[in-house]
Structure 1
Amino acid sequence: AWKGEGEQDFWWCIEKCVAEDGWKPNLILDDGGDATHFMLKYHPAVFKKIVGIVEESVTGVHRLYQLSKTGKLCVPAMNVNDSVTKQKFDNLYSCRESILDGLKRTTDVMFGGKSVSVCGYGEVGKGCAAALKGMGAIVTVTEIDPICALQACMDGFRVQTIEDIADTADVFITCTGNRNVITRKHMDKMKNGAVVANMGHSNTEIEVSSLKTKDLVWEKVRSQVDHIIWQDGKRIVLLAEGRLLNYSCSSVPSFVLSVTACTQALALIEMFNAPEGRYKQDVYLLPKKMDEYVASLHLPQFNAHLTELSDDQAKYLGLQKSGPFKPAYYRY
């Protein structure tokens, strides 16, 4: 990847990774499922020889489960996205910081008193909403899931639909992993100066293609910042042309990258070294023991010291003294 890389370049890079002369991949480390689906579609013979897939994104995992459900997943896959170390650090804690950095670098908007719509209240949405609330913004959440919606209510946020607030909010942030969350219809209703950005998935959450019409004018303000101007003079501020704000306009802390990269590396090693038959043609969660191991490796950074269970305490809880300390179904 490189700055200014276009979509054609993107697929060229994947082609080179998948089918370069002189070597054949035996594992896939994916983010979004693009490499997996590209190989399955254009190089099925290579795909069938893959030892395993490690996927780190919500969207990519969703696509893997779809393949499994339809019987098209002919190799085992590891769902790293739903590991605790990925969910909490990459999605929640990292986005809680990068959302503000990205918005400040591109717009220099003061958020105190601003009305902000956060679309989606998963881990990414939770991090974004908390950060913006901490800056004094009035945050409204949109959600399809009643559990996430109730969490938002209990965290002090109003839950409404995008249609309810399209004409009143100052800033719109998508965090859903879905497509066309903000459409041309919504943007037509937005007020002058509204800021629109994506923290969710790829460039699909905002219907950017609907803005490339003859009745609208694009004005480049600076790198990653465009004004979209309506015929009546109204303009909205579109960041990174709808691509991921934290990757395009900010940075991901190296500590977070260390946690998530460690998780992915251990998953790849596990898939490669696993005895035949341990993993079948299905999607698996990262073993809890590995999750805990990744966390323990990063505790010294904070000079943190774990309490050790006594033999009596471990017996009482029915645990090994070295873990895992929580069952697979435990919700952190």
Structure 2
Amino acid sequence: MTTNVCVFENWHFAYFRYKARYVMRTFLPQKQHQIPEFDANIAGGTQVGKRTVDISGKMKVLRKLADESENPDGTHSIILQHILPTTIEYIDIVNSVYPVDLVISIVYSNDQPTVDALRAKGYEVIVPNSIEYMKEELWKDVLRVLDGASHPVVFQEVGGYMSKWTKQLSQYEGFKGCVEDTKNGLWRYQEAEKNGDIHLPVLSMADTALKRVEDSLIGDACVYSLEKVLRTQLASILDGLRCGVIGWGNIGKSCATAIEGRNSVVSVYDINPVVNMLGYGRGFYPMPLAQLLAESDVVMGCSGRRSIRTADIHDIKNGALLCSASSKDIEIDLKGFSQLCEIEDITPQGDDLCPIEKYTVKKTGKVFYILKHGTPIDFLDMPLQGAILDCTFSELFVCMRELSKNPHSPGVIELADALQIEVAKLWLPTYVETFSTHEATKDKTFFFPESWYWE
């Protein structure tokens, strides 16, 4: 009887799937093939180290924005970014409007062949030797550039590294302010503002609706890299493992969804009780942190803050893997763990492999593993690509343009809705075929927000 029910359910599902496809083929407009789904040019791509990567011509919306932008007072830029092959075109396009005086690579997402390629183009690129240097010493490198500048400068960064040094930067009359990309960086600037220690405008895109488009895909990038490490270095898979996600914000949600899609059992924890309730409502069983750590084979920190403390070390399951989907090395208390554990580097021999460190608790002999020194695991690969990366870089460019054109008072400012909508109205017809036709240009979405009030 059970078999008959299963057969009926499978037939029932297949029938409705067939009907849905019939309706779509019959009644929805057919593809016009105006926008190719893939536009790869591998044979004629760009050589970056050992790789040939198709990285030119991908930033279509960014190019349109740059072509329409003017720079009447000759503002230059300093860019602090993840230096990956996909960043080259972004820097080139920004440079075409706001000449780039300095490129700073983030230490945990630095691709040396890309650095070499940028230097070959004539850019000055510095690669800090540690996250600590970026927090405490990098501002001096920025001041060095400003010292010799006779033009205005805008600074685009990722991570809030200048948040302690805005007073020093504000001494330069031509310094127009900072653009901040990430939540972690935003929180650092907000903390400075709360303490009355912010002395220049900081335009943030970290909490915008457009940024949430990127956040919704970062989880899959993190889980892709995690799964790649499991398969290629640990001869394992995610299927069937107990996985815990700490921090159920935008990135935590996307990580939990991506892990669940690999047939893992996913539990979540958030310090905010309301967020734990939301996780319950979405089917991700929330549990206390100690229980999550004790039961999870894999733990991914997604909070943007310290999610696993020294006090939690005895709760971690023996043999567990810990990794981060967050910023810097903030999620796991590596410094505290180093006082309590013997640490062994067990990374296999080879190129482009994920660093794996074995931590053995001295008192108990418990063992756990930390991937990529606790820094974001998605930067083992190129986490954002194509259309979504174009959206992110376009939003950053619009922030830079806003700071360049319009004076702002010191403090944290969120990118205005109107400027986000400007990016979206360019992005939709560029990448979504149904919005690329002549008829679609008359759609109300291209007249938003005024069209909200149309009768």
TM-score class normalised by the smaller sequence: 0.7 to 0.9
Instruction: Determine helix, strand or coil for the equivalent of 1:35.
Output: coil
Contact 2:242 2:295 in 1 (8 A): yes
Name the structure 1 match of 2:220. 97
Name the structure 2 match of 1:68. 193
Name the structure 1 match of 2:415. 286
Contact 1:118 1:141 in 2 (8 A): yes
Measure, in 1, the Cα distance between the counterparts of 2:169 and 2:414: 26
Q: Deviations over 1:291-320 (max 9, x none)?
A: 12222333322323175667xxx7xxxxx9
- How many percent identity over aligned positions? 19
Name the structure 2 match of 1:57. 182
Change (3 A) 1:324 1:254: same
Contact 1:105 1:250 in 2 (8 A): no
Larger radius of gyration: 2
TM-score of the two chains, using structure 2 as the length reference: 0.62
Contact 1:225 1:239 in 2 (8 A): yes
Which of the residues 301, 309, 313 maps onto 2:431? 301
Change (3 A) 1:227 1:167: same
Contact 1:176 1:201 in 2 (8 A): no
Which of the residues 125, 134, 139 maps onto 2:266? 139
Measure, in 2, the Cα distance between the counterparts of 1:143 and 1:325: 39
| Structure 2 spans left out of the alignment, 5+ residues | 1-104, 113-127, 349-353
Measure, in 1, the Cα distance between the counterparts of 2:316 and 2:451: 46
Contact 1:171 1:196 in 2 (8 A): yes
Change (3 A) 1:111 1:215: closer
Measure, in 2, the Cα distance between the counterparts of 1:60 and 1:326: 35
- 1:150 equivalenced with 2:282 (yes/no): no
- 1:209 equivalenced with 2:335 (yes/no): yes
Amino acid at match of 1:252: P
Q: Tell me by how many angstroms 1:240 deviates.
A: 0.9
- 1:171 equivalenced with 2:295 (yes/no): no
Change (3 A) 1:50 1:243: same
Name the structure 1 match of 2:357. 226
Contact 1:122 1:176 in 2 (8 A): yes
Name the structure 1 match of 2:44. none
Amino acid at match of 1:246: D
Contact 2:170 2:199 in 1 (8 A): no
Name the structure 1 match of 2:318. 192
Instruction: Determine helix, strand or coil for the equivalent of 2:248.
Output: coil
Measure, in 1, the Cα distance between the counterparts of 2:277 and 2:361: 37
- 1:81 equivalenced with 2:210 (yes/no): no
More displaced stretch, 250-259 vs 157-166: 250-259
Measure, in 1, the Cα distance between the counterparts of 2:237 and 2:432: 32
Q: Deviations over 1:41-72 (max 9, x none)?
A: 655523x6532221111122122222333332
Change (3 A) 1:77 1:216: same
Change (3 A) 1:282 1:184: closer
Q: Output the aligned Cα RMSD.
A: 2.7
Q: How many residues align?
A: 310
Change (3 A) 1:27 1:163: same
Measure, in 2, the Cα distance between the counterparts of 1:49 and 1:206: 39
**Greater RCO structure (CA 8 Å; 6+ sep):** 1
Amino acid at match of 2:227: K
Contact 1:28 1:36 in 2 (8 A): no
| Structure 1 spans left out of the alignment, 5+ residues | 315-319, 328-332
Amino acid at match of 1:105: K
Q: Deviations over 1:68-95 (max 9, x none)?
A: 3333222222121112111221x221x1
Measure, in 2, the Cα distance between the counterparts of 1:305 and 1:270: 27
Amino acid at match of 2:434: A
Contact 2:241 2:297 in 1 (8 A): yes
